[in-house]
Structure 1
Amino acid sequence: MYTARRHGIQPDDDTWRVQLELLKYLEKHWWDKGSGIWEMRGPPRDFTHSKVMTWVAFDRAVKAIGHFGLEGDAAHWRALRETVHSEVCDNGFSERRNAFVQYYGGETLDAAGRLPAA
């Protein structure tokens, strides 16, 4: 929605309220291990790309408040964004591969890590 707003697409009155509810959920569950349909089969793991997308959600919430004057706890989301960033850098990066890996503790690279930054 942040990108849509930046490109002039006006959300309806409920859009920010829904985003706030999603952020509340994410605050409680971002550290959960995942095994979603977009991830490889196997046991739940801390997938690096999923954690990075968590960082993006908190980052865009902070930016939405700053750029569009929306109401929300930007300081709290900045702190969460920093926490996620630190965790991903500490646990999702392989010194041996000199790259971010598919999941924490792994050495396999993930094609999602090759996507250019938006």
Structure 2
Amino acid sequence: MCYFDHQLWPCGWWKWGNFREQCPREYRTGETCGLKLVFNTYLEPEVCRHCDQIYKKQRRVAKMDDDVRRWRGEGNRRATIEKTEREMLALNMQIAELWAEHEVRKHAINY
């Protein structure tokens, strides 16, 4: 039952901050009892690093999609289109993994 700061982002991502106060259960100086309680919650105004990575990948996929549409109209770029579509598929899988990690972290209590 030692007290720690708590950082919270608008998307629900959070992390423990600095140690603030020792509880009466732990008598050793500098040690914590292992139970964490929130001393103060700091709301962060910007997006978390995880969401920022996701948004960057989504912008990249959107750019690739626009390029593929343009190339299809031009014709004669089949190999480039196929390569870009494979990259888009890989990026979409990475985005899905990042969202899954984000949801797990958002609902976890032990990080």
TM range (shorter): 0.3 to 0.5
Higher relative contact order (CA 8 A, sep 6+): 2
Larger radius of gyration: 2
TM-score (norm 2): 0.41
TM-score (norm 1): 0.39
